Amino acid sequence: MKRVLLSWSSGKDSAWALHLLRQQPDVEVVALLTTFNTAADRVAMHAVRRTLVKMQAERAGLPLWEIELPWPCSNDDYECRMRAVMERALAEGVDAVAFGDLFLEDIRAYRVKQLAGTALEPLFPVWGIPTGELAQQMIAGGVRAKLTCVDPAKLDASFAGRAFDAALLRDLPDGIDPCGENGEFHSFVYAAPVFSSAIAVEAGEVVTRDNFVFADVLPV
């Protein structure tokens, strides 16, 4: 049995990666790994509250490994903290680390490079699935999510806070990836086939900060 640590962003791609991994009989996902902006107490980029990520992990039935990142955070700081987590993973009998990357070759190459020489195998369970098809599979499979971060240089700010659903896919302009893999948007999953129950949430304020538009999500 391959023991896997899953990089967990709080978004739809992570949730679907967990769903696919759990369908593999030779894989056991043993924990979720999330990086937090310590100053904001939120997931980096997705801007999801830590309390919500803990609720996700609880419903997934998995421990949450929390990595504290300072703000601002240099690449050296980031890599130092990640090395420490990889050492912990090896000490706890983890065999592989899984990521929810879809098609960006440079990101995948970076992940592989960072794990090189650690004896930890990099896994990419959703890699290469056409993103239009993947988005539809997620929605049909029961993934429910909200867009928590939008890059207004790529996608209109009005999409912040919208549901990740069939209507969203119809409304996305030409050239926008259906899964936001080019950084157009990030999401928070509140219901998924990997959760024991949905997380009750409500919409919070929408703010513009650091050239991104963030839509807060609050637990009910």
Q: How many CA atoms lie within 13 A of 121 on its CB side?
A: 11
pLDDT for 45 beyond 90: no
How many CB atoms neighbour CB 76 within 10 A? 8
pLDDT for 168 beyond 90: yes
Check residue 117 and give its pLDDT: 86
Model pLDDT for residues 138-155, shown as the tens digit of each residue:
999 999 999 999 999 999
Question: Each residue of 190-203: b (16+ CB within 10 Å) or e?
Answer: bbbebbeeebebee
How many CB atoms neighbour CB 181 within 10 A? 17
pLDDT for 24 beyond 90: yes
Check residue 75 and give its pLDDT: 87
Model pLDDT for residues 50-106, shown as the tens digit of each residue:
999 999 999 999 999 999 998 888 888 898 999 999 999 999 999 999 999 999 999
Q: Taking all residues of the chain, what is their mean pLDDT, rounded to a whole number?
A: 96
Percentage, residues of the chain above pLDDT 90: 92
Check residue 73 and give its pLDDT: 86
Confidence band for 44, pLDDT divided at 50, 70 and 90: confident
Q: How big, in percent rounded to 5, are the helix, strand and coil portions of the chain?
A: 30, 30, 40
Domain boundaries, the chain: 2-219
Amino acid identity of residue 49, one-letter, is R
Task: Return the CATH architecture of domain 2-219.
Answer: 3-Layer(aba) Sandwich (3.40)
214: nearest Cα among 23, 46, 38? 46
Model pLDDT for residues 179-215, shown as the tens digit of each residue:
999 999 999 999 999 999 999 999 999 999 999 999 9
Give the CA-trace dihedral at 132, 133, 139, 142, to 10 degrees.
-150
Percentage, residues of the chain above pLDDT 70: 100
Phi and psi at 109, nearest 5°, equal: -60, -40
Q: Determine the 3-state secondary structure of 116 from DSSP.
A: coil
